[in-house]
Amino acid sequence: MNDDSRISASDELAEQKRARSMTGAELREWGMKEVAYFRTITHEGATLVAIHAADGTPVGIAEDKDSAVDAILEQDMVPTFLQ
């Protein structure tokens, strides 16, 4: 692992920590291209995971938390869980 990849991993962890401690207003201001949040929902009796942009715009549905996180990471966004 070179120094650049260690810095990138460290930066990513710092961004994830920052996202988890933000208020709702801060999360919305952070921007739709940088962060997405997910939360569990019930739809027609099934438990699913809704994915939203930082401003609350629905952007997708996943079958489970891991799939939601994978989808968010594929878009180079930081995932955060909203309860």
pLDDT in tens, 9-59: 777 777 777 777 878 777 667 665 778 889 999 999 999 999 998 778 899
Q: What pLDDT is stored for residue 6 in this prediction? A: 53
The rounded distance, in Å, linking the Cα atoms of 49 and 61 is 6
Range of the domain at 69: 3-81
State the pTM of this model.
0.61
Q: Is the pLDDT of residue 81 over 50?
A: yes
In the chain, how many domains are there? 1
